[in-house]
Amino acid sequence: MAVKKITKRWIFNSFGVILVILIALEMVISFSIKDYYYGSAERVVYSQAETVSGLLSKYYSEGTGDYEDYFRGIVTSFEKRNIMELMVISENGKIALTSSGFLPNEDSLTPDCFEAEKSLEKTAEYIGKVNGEKVLSVTVVPEGSTENFSAFRIVTSLEKVDSQISILIIGSSVICAAIIFFVAVSGSFFMNSIVKPVGEIGEAAKKIAEGDFNAKIVKNTDDEIGDLCDTINYMADELGATERMKNDFISSVSHELRTPLTAIKGWAEMLEDSSKDDSIDSATLQRGMGVIIGETERLSVMVEELLDFSRLQSGRMVLQPMKLDIIAELSEAVLTFEQRAIREKKDLIYNENDDIIAVTGDKNRLRQVFVNIIDNALKYSDEGGSVTISTLRSENGFVDIVVKDTGIGIPAEQLEKVKTKFFKGNATRRGSGIGLAVADEIIRMHGGEILLDSVEGEGTTVTIRLPIDK
Ligand SMILES: Nc1ncnc2c1ncn2[C@@H]1O[C@H](COP(=O)(O)OP(=O)(O)OP(=O)(O)O)[C@@H](O)[C@H]1O
Ligand SMILES: [Mg+2]
């Protein structure tokens, strides 16, 4: 599941990296502390060794008295006796003299005491345990040493230094552990703030996918996740609306199909009955056949419209473009409405343009658009209303076909939606709500657009804008 993967990724990528860096840092700090403290201890011991060596070389250059006495004098007056010990070692590896006055046994002689003689610099160092105590020992073999005074050695305890180092290392480790702890706690809070809502979003999206468009996600934060919640809620609303529109569409289409079918069936039954006893006169027969043919025509137009719609939806609609005079096409479309306008007692005013305006387009599809728009204009106006059709050639290479009616108008809040499929703003008039959607798509395929302008109760102006051939 996504939740586990995100947490895992965070552990590996973020937390893991911090952990490794801190551990490495802690190791570097520990080594540096140890290096620094041991280095300091060595510097102090070596500087004392140098002082003693210096005093001995002074004896060689100008000394007159007894060498051993002189050396004994240096040892007994050794200044740093409180923190380190100066010892004299005899040739046979015995401790001859110490600055503390106390002679330890031979066990306390560390390897440096024997290595100094052999080494090139006549100096050797040792860090390690002596009788359970950690010490730093430096042995120097001076020039002109005698049998009893063959080398001197300076020893200092490292116990205090070690405990100091331990305190610092423990302290820095505690700080590192605290950092890791805070990173873990704040990180897990942060992860929860992502992982939990993501899980909820996933659940809600699943419900929506299963068709429950009322599933809502509660938005808790005002960040990208909050935005995602908003988007998904919006998506659910839109899907719900589309679903409702689709259901309405099915019921209105069924209704539309049933009306002509009822008329056809009624007339057919009537004709059948009267043909049995020859009671029908030819005028009634004519009327009946007229209704049947007319309604069948209407049904096939409707089915054709539905098929067009489904072709548009699946992108299967292909235009058959040719060069045509758009005014001629419009005039023909208007002509088909003349009878209907008279029948419905509406004024159909056509301001025919005398120009020839050449447009490349699909003749039948463009005719279909004009028919749709003029049909709407008539359908949504009442008796006594008027529909005015005019054309306008604009300077920037477009022609505007304007269909203006004095009908019921479109409420402002519906204006944006009327071009969407299945949208029917007015339940009192017949229609399936796909006419404008189809028209809009066809005009768009021609590189044009349909503009709507309407005032509720006053009327609607629909402008079909098409590019003119150059
Ligand atoms: N001239 C107009 N005056 C008022 N309302 C209009 C006009 N043209 C369109 N509408 C509104 O826009 C909606 C969508 O129009 P559209 O042509 O797509 O569908 P329809 O006319 O209801 O059905 P169909 O055209 O598929 O038979 C209409 O239901 C109506 O509410
Ligand atoms: Mg329509």
What pLDDT, on the 0 to 100 scale, is given for residue 433?
84
What pLDDT, on the 0 to 100 scale, is given for residue 378?
96
The answer to whether position 177 is within a domain reads no
Work out the average pLDDT over 249-276: 89
Q: Which of 313, 333, 357 is the last residue of a domain?
A: 313
Atom 19 in ligand 1: residue holding the nearest Cα: 433
Whether 18 and 131 map to the same domain: the answer is yes
Rounded distance from Cα 256 to ligand 2 centre (Å)? 13
Cα 384 to the center of its chain, rounded Å: 58
Tracing tokens 């920037």 back to the chain, one arrives at 396
Work out the average pLDDT over 29-46: 95
CATH code of the domain covering residue 34: 3.30.450.20
Q: Which sign does the torsion angle of CA 382, 388, 389, 391 carry?
A: negative
Rounded distance from Cα 356 to ligand 1 centre (Å)? 30
**Residue 260 parent element (H or E):** helix 224-277
What pLDDT, on the 0 to 100 scale, is given for residue 391?
96
Cβ(459) – ligand 1 distance below 6 Å:
no
Work out the average pLDDT over 343-367: 94
Q: Which of 126, 151, 166 is the last residue of a domain?
A: 166
Cβ(431) – ligand 1 distance below 6 Å:
yes
Cβ(425) – ligand 1 distance below 6 Å:
yes
Task: Judge whether residue 3 has pLDDT over 60.
Answer: no
Work out the average pLDDT over 135-150: 84
pLDDT bucket at 331, cuts 50 / 70 / 90:
very high
Whether 62 and 127 map to the same domain: the answer is yes
Rounded distance from Cα 213 to ligand 1 centre (Å)? 27
Cβ(326) – ligand 1 distance below 6 Å:
no
Mean pLDDT check: name the lowest of 394-398, 404-408, 428-432: 428-432
Whether 91 and 115 map to the same domain: the answer is yes
What pLDDT, on the 0 to 100 scale, is given for residue 249?
83
CATH code of the domain covering residue 361: 3.30.565.10
The answer to whether position 198 is within a domain reads no
Instruction: Note if the pTM is more than 0.85.
Output: no
Whether 350 and 439 map to the same domain: the answer is yes
pLDDT bucket at 384, cuts 50 / 70 / 90:
very high
- Please state the length of the chain: 470
Rounded distance from Cα 451 to ligand 2 centre (Å)? 15
Whether 20 and 147 map to the same domain: the answer is yes
Q: Which ligand is nearest to the CA of 462?
A: 1
Angle at 356 between CA 354 and CA 359, to 5 degrees: 140
CATH code of the domain covering residue 252: 1.10.287.130
The Cα–Cα gap between 263 and 312 comes to 31
Residue in 309, 344, 424, 453 to alter for ligand 1 test, most ligand atoms within 8 A of Cβ = 424
Atom 12 in ligand 1: residue holding the nearest Cα: 418
The answer to whether position 185 is within a domain reads no
The answer to whether position 16 is within a domain reads yes
Cβ(260) – ligand 1 distance below 6 Å:
no
Atom 1 in ligand 1: residue holding the nearest Cα: 377
Task: Judge whether residue 289 has pLDDT over 90.
Answer: yes
The answer to whether position 217 is within a domain reads no
Cβ(139) – ligand 1 distance below 6 Å:
no
Average pLDDT, the chain: 90
What pLDDT, on the 0 to 100 scale, is given for residue 2?
53
Whether 291 and 379 map to the same domain: the answer is no
Whether 14 and 150 map to the same domain: the answer is yes
Task: Of 84-93, 187-196, 318-327, give the range with the top mean pLDDT.
Answer: 318-327
Provide the 8-state DSSP code for 314: T
- Using an 8 Å Cβ cutoff, are 89 and 139 in contact? yes
pLDDT bucket at 414, cuts 50 / 70 / 90:
very high
Mean pLDDT check: name the lowest of 251-255, 338-342, 388-392, 455-459: 251-255
Copy the structure tokens of residue 339.
């009878």
Q: Which ligand is nearest to the CA of 419?
A: 1
As residues whose CB is below 5 A from the ion ligand 2, the structure lists: 376, 435
Cβ(460) – ligand 1 distance below 6 Å:
yes
What pLDDT, on the 0 to 100 scale, is given for residue 397?
93
Rounded distance from Cα 319 to ligand 1 centre (Å)? 24
pLDDT > 90 in the chain, percent: 56
Cβ(59) – ligand 1 distance below 6 Å:
no
The answer to whether position 67 is within a domain reads yes
The Cα–Cα gap between 322 and 339 comes to 30
Cα 181 to the center of its chain, rounded Å: 28
Secondary structure (3-state) at 138 = strand
Rounded distance from Cα 413 to ligand 1 centre (Å)? 14
Whether 363 and 298 map to the same domain: the answer is no
What pLDDT, on the 0 to 100 scale, is given for residue 195?
86
Cβ(423) – ligand 1 distance below 6 Å:
yes
Q: Which ligand is nearest to the CA of 403?
A: 1
What pLDDT, on the 0 to 100 scale, is given for residue 459?
96
pLDDT bucket at 421, cuts 50 / 70 / 90:
confident
Whether 149 and 254 map to the same domain: the answer is no
Q: Which ligand is nearest to the CA of 407?
A: 1
The answer to whether position 271 is within a domain reads yes
Number of structural domains (the chain) is 3
Whether 277 and 415 map to the same domain: the answer is no
Q: Which ligand is nearest to the CA of 433?
A: 1
**Alpha helices in 278-347, H assignment, sequence order:** 282-313, 326-335, 338-343
Atom 17 in ligand 1: residue holding the nearest Cα: 435
Question: The domain containing residue 383 runs over which residues?
Answer: 322-467
Q: Return the ligand 1 atom nearest residue 305 CA.
A: 26
What pLDDT, on the 0 to 100 scale, is given for residue 467?
96
Task: Of 98-107, 146-155, 216-225, 351-360, give the range with the top mean pLDDT.
Answer: 351-360
Task: Judge whether residue 456 has pLDDT over 90.
Answer: yes
Whether 341 and 430 map to the same domain: the answer is yes
pLDDT bucket at 442, cuts 50 / 70 / 90:
very high
Q: Which of 263, 295, 313 is the last residue of a domain?
A: 313
Cβ(426) – ligand 1 distance below 6 Å:
yes
Give the CA distances from residue 406 to residues 225, 356, 462, in Å, rounded to whole numbers and listed in that order.
48, 28, 12
Rounded distance from Cα 435 to ligand 2 centre (Å)? 4
The Cα–Cα gap between 437 and 444 comes to 11
Work out the average pLDDT over 159-166: 94
Whether 292 and 390 map to the same domain: the answer is no
Rounded distance from Cα 224 to ligand 2 centre (Å)? 41
Residue in 259, 313, 376 to alter for ligand 1 test, most ligand atoms within 8 A of Cβ = 376
Could you report the per-residue pLDDT of 177-214, keeping only the tens digit for each? 999 999 999 988 988 888 888 888 899 999 999 989 88
**Alpha helices in 344-464, H assignment, sequence order:** 363-379, 412-415, 435-445
Secondary structure (3-state) at 149 = coil
Beta strand extents in 110-220 (DSSP E only): 123-130, 133-140, 151-157
The Cα–Cα gap between 95 and 436 comes to 114
The Cα–Cα gap between 7 and 9 comes to 5
The answer to whether position 194 is within a domain reads no
Rounded distance from Cα 465 to ligand 2 centre (Å)? 18
- Using an 8 Å Cβ cutoff, are 355 and 393 in contact? yes
